[in-house]
């Protein structure tokens, strides 16, 4: 009898491809982006530099960064038909549904949609980087009965998104916190949404199709939607004095604690410290430590009881909440960052493409005889 092939549920540990975009340094438990330590990038770069790095393989010079930023500002427009699509959506539609549909619609209006050359895909990626924040902000404002706010002519990705959501310039500590979160979310290997994008484009489909599918994958609460779920959990707990008892009760009932655990990190998500630092800075600026204190007790209880550490979604959740960002926008903001990583993976996949088509183990009924419909009892 031939030996059955090994099976790994969820493809855990299965090598599904090669990439030069990121890796986890297991000895130091640090994430590297194109060879750069992510911690160094959060300390010394802005998101636009990291997006450029992912798309071009090198950090930009000052002149290259200024050219890249100018190109992003020039693409901060939406086709009127996409604006109408957002305007006509139900007010209670989830922003991820709006974003998925609007990104798909953008493919109608891009002359290069079917051009899969690396150069065309870099240009399309830049357009998506510029337009996705507009979709997020316009969709949100329409849902609130408000008109969209035109992009700010001089603000970067983080500051402009906050400006378009509110209609007023954000405080420097808010821009810095959001910018760091965008850097931290930009790329993370063969995660579910990135792998989805690579599978789609491995058929020689286009970037818009790949990103649309990736948005669908990210929307789930076990992936990008975990940041929203984590904040709802913190709100359910309510206060620091309730936190330990709440977690212990949830663990006893085998409930999933949102924002904790990560398949790639066994010693804790290396992106968490930078985001926790931003959370503390925002809390100090607004004079509200309630969520910091509550989150700290949840974290320490989970580590003590289960040895499970928070992932990036956990500190992002309460940091965004302290910045008065509506909870349904947390995952769309994740998209506005990760689209750089998705696009880089699409370009990389197409560079050495092979159709992704894994095998499976059959668990169904053995072969049986066909019976005509009139003879079935």
Q: Which residues are catalytic?
A: 262, 313
Select from 31, 21, 84 the least CA-distant residue to 53: 21
Among candidate residues 69, 112, 125, 67, the one with its CA nearest the CA of residue 338:
125
């Amino acid at each position: 009898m031939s030996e059955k092939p090994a099976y790994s549920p969820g493809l855990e540990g299965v090598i599904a491809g090669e990439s030069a975009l990121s890796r986890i340094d297991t000895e130091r438990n640090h994430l590297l982006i194109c060879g750069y330590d992510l911690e160094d990038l959060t300390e010394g770069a802005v998101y636009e530099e990291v997006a450029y790095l992912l798309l071009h393989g090198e950090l930009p010079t000052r002149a290259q960064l200024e050219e890249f930023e100018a190109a992003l500002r020039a693409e901060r427009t939406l086709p009127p038909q996409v604006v109408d699509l957002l305007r006509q959506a139900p007010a209670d539609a989830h922003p991820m549904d709006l974003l998925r549909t609007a990104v798909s619609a953008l493919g109608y209006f891009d002359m290069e949609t079917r051009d899969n050359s690396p150069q065309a895909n870099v240009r399309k990626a830049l357009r998506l980087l510029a337009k996705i924040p507009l979709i997020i902000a316009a969709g949100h404002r329409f849902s609130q009965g408000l008109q969209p706010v035109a992009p700010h002519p001089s603000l970067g990705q983080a500051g402009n998104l906050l400006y378009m959501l509110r209609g007023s310039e954000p405080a420097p500590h808010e821009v810095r916190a959001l910018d760091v979160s965008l850097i931290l979310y930009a790329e993370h290997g063969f995660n579910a949404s990135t792998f989805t994008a690579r599978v789609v484009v491995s058929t020689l489909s286009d970037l818009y199709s790949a990103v649309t599918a990736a948005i669908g994958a990210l929307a789930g609460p076990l992936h990008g939607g975990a940041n929203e779920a984590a904040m709802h959990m913190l709100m359910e707990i309510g206060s620091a004095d309730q936190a330990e008892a709440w977690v212990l009760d949830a663990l006893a009932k085998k409930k999933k604690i949102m924002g904790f655990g990560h398949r790639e990190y066994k010693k804790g998500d290396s992106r968490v410290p930078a985001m926790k630092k931003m959370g503390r800075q925002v809390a100090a600026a607004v004079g509200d430590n309630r969520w910091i204190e509550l989150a700290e007790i949840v974290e320490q209880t989970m580590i003590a009881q289960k040895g499970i550490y928070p992932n990036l979604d956990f500190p992002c959740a309460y940091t965004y909440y302290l910045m008065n960002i509506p909870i349904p926008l947390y995952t769309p903001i994740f998209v506005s960052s990760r689209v750089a990583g998705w696009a880089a993976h699409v370009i990389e996949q197409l560079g050495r493409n092979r159709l992704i088509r894994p095998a499976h183990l059959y668990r169904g009924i053995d072969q049986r005889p066909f019976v005509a419909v009139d003879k079935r009892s």
